[in-house]
């Protein structure tokens, strides 16, 4: 379970921004990653455990009632984006 502690100012918004950017770009990455060099491909995929961790941290903030209404709304939109794009990620992370 992620360690949930009081977020410093701006932390939750920053995590939401970072997560949104990563999950939003998946369709465009999927369309071009086969053309990247091997080094570029593994550099990209090596970051994904961090992206998954970020989702868990955000979930912890929500469950601990540490999000504002606006952050809760953004978090709901993020979760929807994650559901939509997870099959694309699984394709990108193929062994």
* Interacting residues toward other proteins by CB under 8 A: 1-3, 8, 11, 14-15, 18, 21-22, 25, 29, 33, 36-47, 49-50, 52-53, 56-57, 60, 90, 92-95
**Alpha-carbon distance values, 8 to 5, 33, 47, 61, 67 (Å):** 9, 36, 24, 12, 12
- Which residue number, 43 or 68, has a Cβ lying nearer to other proteins? 43
Rounded to a whole number of angstroms, the minimum distance from the CB of residue 21 to other proteins is: 5
Rounded to a whole number of angstroms, the minimum distance from the CB of residue 87 to other proteins is: 13
Question: Which residue intervals of 1-95 are DSSP H helices?
Answer: 11-24, 26-32, 38-45, 48-63, 69-92
């Amino acid at each position: 379970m992620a360690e949930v502690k009081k977020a410093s100012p701006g932390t939750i918004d920053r995590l939401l921004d970072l997560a949104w950017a990563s999950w939003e770009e998946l369709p465009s990455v999927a369309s071009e990653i086969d053309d990247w060099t091997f080094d570029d491909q593994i550099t990209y995929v090596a970051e994904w455990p961090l992206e998954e961790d970020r989702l868990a941290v955000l979930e912890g903030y929500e469950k601990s009632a540490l999000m504002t209404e606006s952050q809760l709304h953004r978090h709901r939109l993020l979760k929807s984006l994650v559901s939509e794009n997870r099959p694309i990620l699984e394709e990108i992370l193929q062994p």
